[in-house]
A and B are shown apart, each in its own frame.
Chain A
């Protein structure tokens, strides 16, 4: 069974710091990776996608992918209290039928 693993947290960082969220996946053939943000009681919101090894930056967010190590990470620079949410890592599974497999999410708390 294809798996996506995340530390559930909570991860607490002070306002203005860098938050680092990590994810590992089991399917070596995976090609597409996504980060979603989910506020309590709300649905997941797509914030980053990454397909190639290396870094991809979008505003305060940087996604990092290392396919050899089967590792994806999300860095949030200048963390704000509004970044407090659960961050879900998702891997697109084309072999099993074009669907996302999600980790359980990491809860991030940005403290004043």
Chain B
């Protein structure tokens, strides 16, 4: 049983650089989510896709963040001009309905 996978697992980047993360959801799940989690907090919603359509984007998400899900399969999350405040665990999740299953996460460190 293949779960949600994410790549890379860790990313260290310098402030101002662009980064891109990939997520491969569970194959039969049509819903895909991106969340962000910082130390001591619960995951915070970033954006949601149903198939290839991006249906919701958090108001907290700045214009530096963009996500895609071409052909309703894998998804990418790009952060442009990274800032130190972007340092966090970026979690991808997929769902067939409401039960949501998380991938292992990508830990981003911006120096």
Contacts and interface: CB of A to CB of B under 8 A. Distances in A.
B48 to A, nearest CB: 6
Contact of B42 (A49, A96, A99, A102): A102
A65 interface: no
Given A32-B98, A43-B105, A97-B48, A102 B43 contact: yes
- Interface majority SS (helix, strand, loop, mixed), chain B: strand
Contact of B100 (A8, A34, A42, A103): A34
B45 interface: yes
Of residues A44, A46, A92, A96, which shows the largest number of chain B Cβ atoms within 10 Å of its Cβ? Answer: A44
Contact of A104 (B31, B40, B100, B104): B40
Interface string A86-105: 00101010101111111111
A99 B99 contact: no
A78 interface: no
B102 interface: yes
Interface of B: 31, 33, 40-45, 48, 50, 55-56, 89, 91, 98-105
8 contacts: A34-B99, A34-B100, A98-B31, A98-B48, A98-B56, A100-B100, A102-B44, A104-B41
